Amino acid sequence: MITGNLSHFKRYLSIHPSFILAEDFLSRARASTPEQGRYDIEGDNIYAMVSTATGKNREDAKPEAHRIYIDIHCVLNGREEIGIIGTDNCKRILSPYDSEKDFILFDEQPEFFLLLQRGDFAIVFPEDAHAPMISGDNVTKCVIKIRL
């Protein structure tokens, strides 16, 4: 997992070739928040989802993980916490892995929480189970999905 502010995202471009396209989309989204919905950047290989929702409390947040995609969560407006726990520490499965949705849900409590504010991002890899959208506010965010 990597976290920081978009102003420093260029430091991480060498991690994956698609991070260049992700940085371009996030920079434009931060300057002018796009409408909610899915944005294909390179089809299913890299796409963005923009949404606005009211967050949930820590007790209701359950960690999820993916096997095929890296997620880049970026807050466009508001603030959210994301709970983190390593998948190696997740023993209780709430919803089995769905290969079509690339999604598994765990019945675990996160080991720690990240606070993301406007312009902050978190890159979560398949080994990073994450419980997003912990907030008492409305949050507008962008999640970019990058196929490994």
Q: How far is it, in rounded angstroms, from Cα 82 to Cα 73?
A: 9
* Distances, alpha carbon 146 to alpha carbons 45, 48, 82, 85, 140, in Å: 6, 9, 19, 20, 20
The predicted structure's pLDDT at residue 24: 96
Radius of gyration for the alpha carbons in the chain, expressed in angstroms and rounded = 14
The predicted structure's pLDDT at residue 28: 93
Query: In angstroms, how far is CA 21 from the centroid of its own chain?
Result: 16
Q: Which CATH architecture has domain 2-147?
A: Sandwich (2.60)
- What does each of the 148 residues of the chain score in pLDDT, given as a tens digit? 999 999 999 999 999 999 999 999 999 998 888 999 999 999 999 999 999 999 999 999 999 999 999 999 999 999 999 999 999 999 999 999 999 999 999 999 999 999 999 999 999 999 999 999 999 989 999 999 999 9
Q: Is 65 strand, coil or helix?
A: strand
The predicted structure's pLDDT at residue 33: 84
Domain boundaries, given as residue ranges, for the chain: 2-147
The predicted structure's pLDDT at residue 95: 97
* Distances, alpha carbon 102 to alpha carbons 25, 68, 116, in Å: 22, 6, 24
The predicted structure's pLDDT at residue 15: 94
